[in-house]
Amino acid sequence: MNISLLIPCKVKDVVWLSSTVFKVVFDPKTKFKYQAGQFVSVAIPTHRERPLHEWHSYTLACPYETAETNGYEIYVRYISGGMASEYLSFLRKGDEFTITSPHGDFRFVPPSTDKDVVFIATTSGIASIKAIVESEEFQKNKPARTYLLLGTRNEEESLFTSYFEKLGLRVIPAVTKPKILTFGFWGRVTDFLERGVFPWNAKNADYYVVGNPKMVKRVLYQLNLLQKVDRKSIFIENIISQFSFEKESTEAEVHELVPFKKSA
Ligand SMILES: Cc1cc2nc3c(=O)[nH]c(=O)nc-3n(C[C@H](O)[C@H](O)[C@H](O)COP(=O)(O)OP(=O)(O)OC[C@H]3O[C@@H](n4cnc5c(N)ncnc54)[C@H](O)[C@@H]3O)c2cc1C
């Protein structure tokens, strides 16, 4: 990955949205434009001499139109013992950190005809769907029917269900460890697709799939090979579970990085 620009940022707020997901709202020193669906990489200090930082990617969770005025946002799934998510969960208002300029080509492509649009995501992948659905691009080209197949562990992680419903999406929560057995579909998103029965028009739909590589690979197989959906109608984003790329920072880059600075 090419680090074209390092951007110092200041934390505006850290808000827990559920017991496993929190958002970090921040202002970059230099405002930058991006497309809904893109991600930034955050410099996570390693407390080792080399490499000083690991770069972990996080999708920008709101579109540029709102980030510009309300602050930029990332949604982080907390993983106990996970270096990046632990570090980010300790940030407080006024703290500073460094990100790269935005990357990625996962974005909404308005469908040409009356196609359905189907988002398929798991908890950590929800940020890109949120940014896309809130974006002017999506709102101006709103598909007649939009579905969200949202995979989470339990009902609490499905906190976005009602939010997306208010935005007009038909949400199907797929919950692996439900506390209430009647809530949504009991199983993984891939279990839901495995049945081969869909509320949307399977062959006349565009699909946006965000999740870990195993999930994305399985969904691709189910849609493309089993359901014969045209590969060009399936847009994918892999959220790998390890840090996104390893790189020894050059002396110049280290100099540019904002040191981990706690506010008073
Ligand atoms: C393009 C891209 C976009 C991404 N966007 C986001 C985002 O918006 N929000 C987000 O939270 N993460 C996102 N990620 C993942 C993120 O970069 C980190 O990998 C993740 O936060 C884990 O880092 P960690 O150091 O906390 O845990 P690690 O030390 O890397 O992992 C600890 C353990 O948790 C497991 N694990 C790692 N990631 C996950 C996960 N997401 N869910 C469940 N278990 C996991 C690992 O298998 C490992 O066993 C994205 C990754 C990519 C490549």
Q: Is there a domain that residue 169 lies in? A: yes
Q: What is the CATH number of the domain that holds 186?
A: 3.40.50.80
Question: Residue 221: CB partners within 8 Å, gap ≥ 6?
Answer: none
Q: Could you tell which of 124, 126, 130, 244 is best to mutate to test the pocket of ligand 1, judged by most ligand atoms within 8 Å of the CB?
A: 124
pTM of the complete model: 0.88
Q: Which residue has the CA at smallest separation from atom 37 of ligand 1?
A: 241
Q: 159: CA distance to ligand 1 center in Å?
A: 19
Q: What is the pLDDT of residue 116?
A: 96
Q: What is the pLDDT of residue 247?
A: 41
- Which atom of ligand 1 is the closest one to the Cα of 87? 26
Q: Is there a domain that residue 198 lies in? A: yes
Average pLDDT for the chain: 88
Total structural domains within the chain? 2
Measure the N-to-C terminal CA separation of the chain; round to a whole number of Å.
35
- Which atom of ligand 1 is the closest one to the Cα of 127? 8
- Which atom of ligand 1 is the closest one to the Cα of 44? 25
Q: Is there a domain that residue 263 lies in? A: no
Q: What does the alpha-carbon distance between residue 156 and residue 154 come to, in Å, rounded to a whole number?
A: 5
Q: What is the pLDDT of residue 243?
A: 41
Q: What is the pLDDT of residue 129?
A: 96
Q: What is the pLDDT of residue 88?
A: 97
Residues 247 and 219 in one domain: no
- Determine whether 184 is exposed, middle or buried from the number of CB atoms within 10 Å of its CB (0-12, 13-18, 19+): buried
Q: What is the pLDDT of residue 250?
A: 45
Residue-number span of the structural domain to which 37 is assigned: 6-103+243-256
Q: 242: CA distance to ligand 1 center in Å?
A: 6
Q: Mean pLDDT per 10-residue run, the chain (264 residues)?
A: 79 94 96 97 86 91 97 95 95 97 94 92 91 96 94 81 92 89 86 95 95 93 94 90 43 44 48
Q: What is the CATH number of the domain that holds 93?
A: 2.40.30.10
Q: What is the pLDDT of residue 41?
A: 95
Q: What does the alpha-carbon distance between residue 146 and residue 108 come to, in Å, rounded to a whole number?
A: 12
Residues 233 and 248 in one domain: no
Residues in the ligand 1 pocket, defined by CB under 6 Å: 39, 56-59, 74-77, 79, 82-85, 124, 127, 239-244
Q: Which residue has the CA at smallest separation from atom 53 of ligand 1?
A: 239
Q: 32: CA distance to ligand 1 center in Å?
A: 24
Q: 160: CA distance to ligand 1 center in Å?
A: 19
